[in-house]
C-alpha cells in the first residue's frame, strides 16, 4: 500500500468518525428535547450544534438566547462551534450569535419547506421521498413525472419503469439541483436511490401489515384522512410476557401490544433508540380512532 492510498484510507476513516459523532450528538440533542442545528443546504458548511431549553443558571456557563419566543442554550458537548463554547479560548459572543442565528433560521426554513413541499408534491401526483427512520437525515425530495426536455435543467431517473425528475423547488438536496454549485450526478443517483428504496420497502411493509394484522386477529391502524401522515401500526392481542419486550396498551378493555414487524413507528419499538413511551401512547391513541379489524 503506497502513501497516497494510506492517506486516502485515513481521510475516509476520519470523515466516518466525524459523521458518527455528529449522528450520535443529533440523537442526544433530540432526547433532550433540543433542536439540532446544521447547514442543511450547504454540505461544505460543517458547523453543527444543539440548542436545548434554558434551565436555571445556564447563562453562567452556556451561550443562551431567544429564538421565536423560546429561551434556548447552546450545548457545547453536542456541537462543534468553538466560538459558542464559553470554556474555549475561541469563544466570541457576537460571532456565536450570528452563526447560531444563521443555522437556526436555516433549519426553520427547511422545516417549513418540507411541510409545504410534501403537500404540493402529492397534489401534483409526484413521489415524495424522505428518511423517516433516522432523525439525523434531513434530506427530502419530490420526483415529478418527466416532461419533454426536463433532463436539460433537472436530474432525471427511472424507478420501477417510471421516468421522473427531481424538482429543486420541492426538495432540499443541493447535489441533485443542476443549478447549484454542489450538484453531483453520482451523489444524486446514490442519494435518491437510497431514499426511493426506503419508500418502496415501507410501501411493501404497509401492504403486508394490512393483510397479516387482520389475519392474526389484530387491529390495523393508520390515518386515511391525511396523506402526509405515513405512520401505520398493528396491535395484536397481548400474550403472556409481551409487556417485557413490547409496548402494550388497553383500548376498549382489550389488552393489545404493538408489533414492530408489522409497523413503522420507531418511538413505539422497544429496540429502537428513538423509543418514547409517552410519544407512543399519544401516537397510537390518535391512530386508534381509525382502527380496522
Same domain, 35 and 79: yes
pLDDT at 43: 79
**pTM of structure:** 0.78
User: Which of the listed residues 58, 75, 110 is the one where a domain comes to its end?
Assistant: 110
Q: What is the pLDDT of residues 125-166, one digit of tens each?
A: 999 999 988 877 889 999 999 999 999 999 999 999 999 999
Domain boundary residue, one of 201, 228, 251: 201
Please tell me whether residues 105 and 137 are part of one structural domain.
Answer: no
- Other beta carbons within 10 angstroms of residue 134's beta carbon come to 16
Residue 161's domain comprises 124-201
- Is 118 within a domain? no
- pLDDT for the residue numbered 18: 53
**239 lies in a domain?**
yes
Would 209 be classed as within a structural domain? Answer: no
Instruction: Provide Rg for the chain, Cα atoms.
Output: 22
Residue 140, classed as helix, strand or coil, is strand
- Residues 237, 170 within the same domain: no
pLDDT at res. 19: 58
pLDDT given for residue 5 in this prediction: 42
The total number of structural domains that make up the chain: 3
Segments of the chain with pLDDT less than 50: 1-17
Residues 98 and 8 placed together within one structural domain of the fold: yes
Write down which residue in 110, 132, 151 finishes a domain: 110
Q: What is the pLDDT of residue 165?
A: 98
C-alpha cell, 185: 450526478
234 and 163 in one domain?
Answer: no
Same domain, 155 and 227: no
Residue 114, classified by CB atoms within 10 Å of its CB into exposed (0-12), middle (13-18) or buried (19+), is buried
Domain co-membership, 101 together with 23? yes
Same domain, 134 and 233: no
Task: Indicate if 131 and 104 belong to the same structural domain.
Answer: no
Amino acid at each position: 500500500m503506497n502513501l497516497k492510498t494510506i492517506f486516502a484510507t485515513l481521510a475516509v476513516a476520519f470523515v466516518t468518525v466525524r459523521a458518527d459523532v455528529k449522528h450520535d450528538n443529533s440523537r442526544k440533542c433530540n432526547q433532550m428535547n433540543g433542536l439540532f442545528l446544521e447547514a442543511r443546504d450547504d454540505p461544505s458548511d460543517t458547523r453543527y450544534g444543539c440548542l436545548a431549553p434554558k434551565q436555571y443558571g445556564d447563562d453562567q456557563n452556556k451561550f443562551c438566547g431567544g429564538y421565536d419566543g423560546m429561551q434556548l442554550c447552546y450545548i457545547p458537548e453536542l456541537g462543534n462551534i468553538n466560538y459558542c463554547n464559553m470554556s474555549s479560548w475561541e469563544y466570541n459572543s457576537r460571532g456565536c450569535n450570528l452563526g447560531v442565528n444563521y443555522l437556526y433560521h436555516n433549519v426553520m426554513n427547511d422545516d417549513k419547506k418540507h411541510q409545504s413541499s410534501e403537500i404540493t408534491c402529492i397534489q401534483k401526483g409526484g413521489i415524495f421521498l424522505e428518511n423517516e427512520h433516522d432523525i439525523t437525515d434531513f434530506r427530502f425530495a419530490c420526483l415529478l413525472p418527466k416532461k419533454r426536455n426536463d433532463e436539460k435543467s433537472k436530474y432525471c431517473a427511472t424507478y420501477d419503469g417510471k421516468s421522473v425528475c427531481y424538482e429543486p423547488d420541492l426538495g432540499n438536496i443541493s447535489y441533485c439541483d443542476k443549478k447549484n454549485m454542489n450538484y453531483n450526478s453520482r451523489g444524486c443517483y446514490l442519494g435518491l436511490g437510497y431514499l426511493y428504496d426506503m419508500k418502496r420497502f415501507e410501501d411493501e411493509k404497509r401492504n403486508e401489515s394490512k393483510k397479516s394484522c387482520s389475519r392474526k386477529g389484530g387491529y390495523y391502524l393508520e390515518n386515511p384522512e391525511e396523506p402526509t401522515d405515513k405512520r401505520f401500526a398493528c396491535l395484536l392481542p397481548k400474550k403472556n410476557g409481551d409487556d417485557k419486550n413490547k409496548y402494550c396498551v388497553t383500548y376498549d378493555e382489550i389488552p393489545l401490544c404493538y408489533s414492530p414487524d408489522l409497523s413503522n413507528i420507531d418511538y413505539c419499538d422497544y429496540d429502537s433508540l428513538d423509543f418514547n413511551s409517552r410519544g407512543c401512547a399519544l401516537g397510537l391513541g390518535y391512530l386508534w380512532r381509525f382502527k380496522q379489524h
